[in-house]
Structure 1
Amino acid sequence: MTPSPPRKLLDVVREVIRLKHYSYRTEQSYLDWIRRYLRYHNGKHPRDMGKPEIQAFLTHLAVEGHVAASTQNQALSALLFLYRNVLEIKIEGISEFARAKRPKRLPTVLTKSEVQAVMQHLTGVERLVIQLLYGSGLRLSEALNLRVKDVDFAQNQLIIRDTKGNEDRVTPLPNTIQVTLKGHLEAVRRVHQQDLGRGYGSVYLPYALAKKYPNADRSWIWQYIFPSYALSQDPRSGVTRRHHLSESSIQKALKKAVQRSEVSKRVSCHTFRHSFATHLLQNGYDIRTVQELLGHKDVKTTMIYTHVLNRGGYAVRSPLDD
């Protein structure tokens, strides 16, 4: 009997990632970093390398690649996954490498009038998404991953699931947008019914849920609130279904709106989450409440927004104003 050819390393990595139910984005990111690591060491097999080679690669990223600290940490996570979960090799004490510097920057925050100025140049679904980022303090990925069942009109709240810290949290659903959101959901439901009639209508569910509830993927409550305008093939399963809107479509619409509004600040989707937190603090809400609404594990992360309460310049009165 002819022995089967050895499996390629990246194919094994991909299989382990999927067994652990990591997101598709994480899968693509980890595979890319592992490729870059192998390329940097001229294709040498990772079993023949270890801590020194990992440290050399991470140092290269910081010193020659000038990557951000978060990017360097992502590369380290990918390599630790490779060694610990795929090759089953213990790698301990990786600390002796050049660290990418974390820039100490205050978040960009819009005034309430600037928020409205940008909103005036947004329409339709894109406006509704940005309203949720500001009105509920969501990350863009959280807004786009919302399912029908996550909206609680009776309690005026949204339930944010599978967050960055893998913990669910609750955040307010603005009264201002509820009529618009209900109308939007009616339109989404009609599209879903049409998809079902054409033999489609399924939506992606995490593996554990798909196994536990085999027919839930076609259920209305599991559908995305902001579905894509077109059906597409799932890159993992090959199933044709309707995913949620892409982040880039919202980002492009926002960029145009900011240009038209003439707001002279560097504005991204995350700016509205920053503005949500800042405006709550200005309105007198305590830091712990804001921490919970944002889903921060450590209150130190939330403390960065308190700079606005100092009214600029550490509350020092300029001598020019005397």
Structure 2
Amino acid sequence: MNELISIAPVSPLRQRLIDDMNMRHFGRETQRNYIRDVGRFATFLGRPPDTATAEDLRRFQVEQREAGVPVPTMNSVVSALRFFFTQTLDRPDLARRLVRVSHPRKLPVVLSRDEVTRLLNATTCLKHQAALSVAYGAGLRVAEVSMLKVRDIDSERMLLRVERGKGGQYRNAMLPADLLKLLRQWWKLGHEQGVMHRDGWLFPGQHYLKPISTRQLYRVVVEAAQSAEIAKRVGPHTLRHSFATHLLEDGIDIRIIQALLGHAKLENTAFYTRVATRTVRAVTSPLDKLGLFLPEPEAPSG
């Protein structure tokens, strides 16, 4: 997290916020977003955010809405400010003044199995193919793929250890046999190239001491989708969506999928039932069982 704060001197208040997030094992992206969103409120306020009043928060949210800030962005700012006021300042009274806005959740883009195959085959190198295969084969978030280390591969138990998932949670993800074969190929090549080490990153960045960035993984997915002539809007999370949907269509229990994805709430996993088209097609409508609309008998020939 030092790179987030190395550009300018850090105020004691911001350092307290960073320390609070580190104590809770917040990921790098989450920390960056929270610092940005608290800073947005401080800019609006024109003075340190720890001097804010309930009226300041109300005016800020009204201005955000009138400026046309998208609802997901507004809700992200609310999450950051709630953490700031509750944990860093111990002012839950102010946190209660923050309002989350409900909005309809869009259906996720899901690739067919054929499209996933084409996308993975369209990658330009073994490292990129292996990274995207982990995202699809284990259902990991892009930040989780980026932060994997070689030692996180447990080939005896066929698991991937995800040390810092969303919210700093630890969990085990599945390690398919074919994925393990691909990762071993990548290990052999990366080790020969001198970029992979037993205590190092599974997918090193431009320098082997740093992991591949989430931005780079996003570019890899977009370019592979273009090469594979996939017209859908695709990003790294599309592979995670596709993993969950395909498991659901194969009849895997939804609570098992919830555990594999690391979802805290079952409702987040159940959302994939809306895009599991094979599951819908496998259901026989009660109307069909009535037999009301039988095919007309064929006219006798001759």
TM-score range, shorter chain: 0.7 to 0.9
SS at match of 1:91: helix
Query: Any stretches of 5+ residues in structure 1 without a counterpart?
Result: 1-7, 196-219, 232-241
Q: Per-residue deviation at 1:303? A: 0.8
Could you say if the C-alpha distance between residues 100 and 67 of structure 1 is closer, same or farther in structure 2, counting changes exceeding 3 Å?
farther
Runs in 1 of length 4+ with deviation above 6 angstroms?
314-317
- Provide the residue aligned with 1:58 in structure 2: 61
- Deviation, 1:183, is 2.9
Aligned partner of 1:137 in structure 2 is 139
Residues 1:45 and 1:140: Cα distance change in structure 2 (over 3 Å): closer
What is the aligned partner in structure 1 of residue 113 from structure 2?
Answer: 112
Aligned pairs for 1:119-134 (under 5 A) are 119-123=120-124, 124-134=126-136
Give the alignment's Cα RMSD to 1 decimal: 3.1
Aligned equivalent of 1:224: 201
Residues 152 and 158, structure 1, Cα contact 8 Å, conserved in 2:
yes
Counterpart for residue 239 of structure 2: 272
Would the aligned equivalents of 2:147 and 2:201 in 1 still touch at CA under 8 Å?
A: yes
Alpha-carbon separation, structure 2, partners of 1:292 and 1:189: 33
TM-score by length of 1: 0.74
Q: Does 1:30 align with 2:31?
A: no
Q: Paired residue for 1:103? A: 104
Q: 1:78 aligns with which of 74, 77, 80?
A: 80
Question: Structure 1, residues 172-227: CA drift from partner, whole Å, max 9, x if none?
Answer: 212223233113224444666x89xxxxxxxxxxxxxxxxxxxxxxxx55421111
Tell me if the contact between 1:83 and 1:89 (Cα under 8 Å) persists in the aligned partners.
yes
* Mean CA deviation greater in 298-307 or 31-40: 31-40
The counterpart of 1:39, out of the listed 43, 56, 62, is: 43
Shift, 1:289, TM fit: 1.0
Distance 1:140 1:284, change over 3 A: same
Correspondence list, 1:1-322, <5 A: 11-20=11-20, 21=22, 22-41=26-45, 43-69=46-72, 71-92=73-94, 94-95=96-97, 97=99, 99-123=100-124, 124-189=126-191, 221-230=198-207, 242-307=209-274, 308=276, 309-311=279-281
Q: Give distance in 2, aligned partners of 1:48 and 1:14.
A: 14
> How far has the Cα of 1:36 moved from its partner?
1.9
Which amino acid is the alignment partner of residue 16 of structure 1? R
TM-score by structure 2 length?
A: 0.78
Does structure 2 conserve the Cα–Cα contact (< 8 Å) formed by 1:122 and 1:257? yes
Identify if the C-alpha distance between structure 1 residues 183 and 31 changes in structure 2 by more than 3 Å, giving closer, same or farther: same
Determine the C-alpha separation between the residues in 1 that align with 2:180 and 2:50. Answer: 56
Q: 1:39 to 1:260 in 2, by over 3 A?
A: same
Q: Is the 8 A contact 2:85 2:95 kept in 1?
A: no
Say if 1:29 and 1:230 are closer, same or farther in 2 by CA, change over 3 A.
same
**C-alpha contact (below 8 Å) 1:162/1:168 kept by paired residues:** yes
Question: Partners in 1 of 2:217 and 2:285 — Cα distance?
Answer: 37
Distance of 1:315 and 1:63 partners within structure 2: 47
Paired residue total: 274
Q: Secondary structure at the match of 2:134?
A: helix
1:109-147, Cα deviation, whole Å (9 max, x unpaired): 111111112122113211111111111111111111111
